[in-house]
Amino acid sequence: DQAILAYKELTQGAVSNYSEKALIRLIGLLKNKSEWVAAIPYLEKLDTIASFEENKRFAVFNLMQGYYLEGSFPKTLKITDRVLNIPNLESSIHWDALTLKAKSALALKDTITAAATYKQLETAPQSEVAAEAIYFRAHQLYQQGMFEESNVLIDKIAQLGGSTGIWNVKALLLLAKNYFKLQDVFQAVFVLESIIENFDRYPELIKESKSLLELYKDSSLSTNPSANEIE
């Protein structure tokens, strides 16, 4: 804490030869304490005054994370575009920027930007990121009534393997909904029972699966699948 106070003093007032270095040290200390919101004003100042390209990149990359964690989604969208336009961008930062851009657009209900960005993320090297992106498109197809096409994408998520985390379970839940819409109640029930049996580490999804299972079991093939469905 004393070090933080000392570096804050050095960053106050007019820009000096020490300002840039002090900002880097101060931001590092705040990041180590997970105080991202507190670091944002200093990152913004560093972005403004940085004379070294390396320090400006440091500021921009960290502002991208900070704005997102703060919930400042319009600022996140704007700065991710800056990041993505940086020449010779590291691959990991490229994918991070696309991920934060997609999530921020979705939070702002900008489905056009979200869809375009998630489409790029479908080829991400991280299986969990790719699964989230494919799930987004599969869910869009479900909402458009294209249930069989949605299932094709869900199969792609399954092919990514076991490192897809919660998106594998979300995909299975969507698969059950698609089957129900296609009037295949047997398959829908089978998938839901499998979720309930195997994924108790996701209690919210288990709760939804149980609600759907009760609804589907009470239905018949002659029942309108759209009636009273839990979305």
Residue 8 lies in a domain: yes
Residue 158 lies in a domain: yes
Higher pLDDT, 58 or 6: 58
The whole-chain average pLDDT of the chain stands at 92
Predicted structure pTM score: 0.86
What whole-number distance in Å separates Cα of residue 7 and Cα of residue 19?
A: 9
What whole-number distance in Å separates Cα of residue 198 and Cα of residue 122?
A: 26
Residue 205 lies in a domain: yes
Pick the last residue of a domain from 37, 55, 70: 70
Cβ-contact 117, 105 below 8 angstroms = yes
Residue 171 lies in a domain: yes
Helices vs. strands in the chain: H and E counts, helices first: 12, 0
Q: What's 170's domain CATH number?
A: 1.25.40
Pick the last residue of a domain from 49, 70, 91: 70
Domain total in the chain: 2
Confidence of residue 227 (pLDDT cuts 50, 70, 90): very low
Residue 115 lies in a domain: no
- For residue 8, what are the domain limits? 1-70
Residues 52 and 129 in one domain: no
Mean pLDDT is lowest, of 131-135, 185-189, 222-226, for 222-226
Residue 99 lies in a domain: no
Q: What would the pLDDT profile of 136-194 be if each residue is shown by its tens digit?
A: 999 999 999 999 999 999 999 999 987 888 999 999 999 999 999 999 999 999 999 99
Residues 49 and 140 in one domain: no
Asked whether residue 230 carries a pLDDT value surpassing 50, the answer given is: no
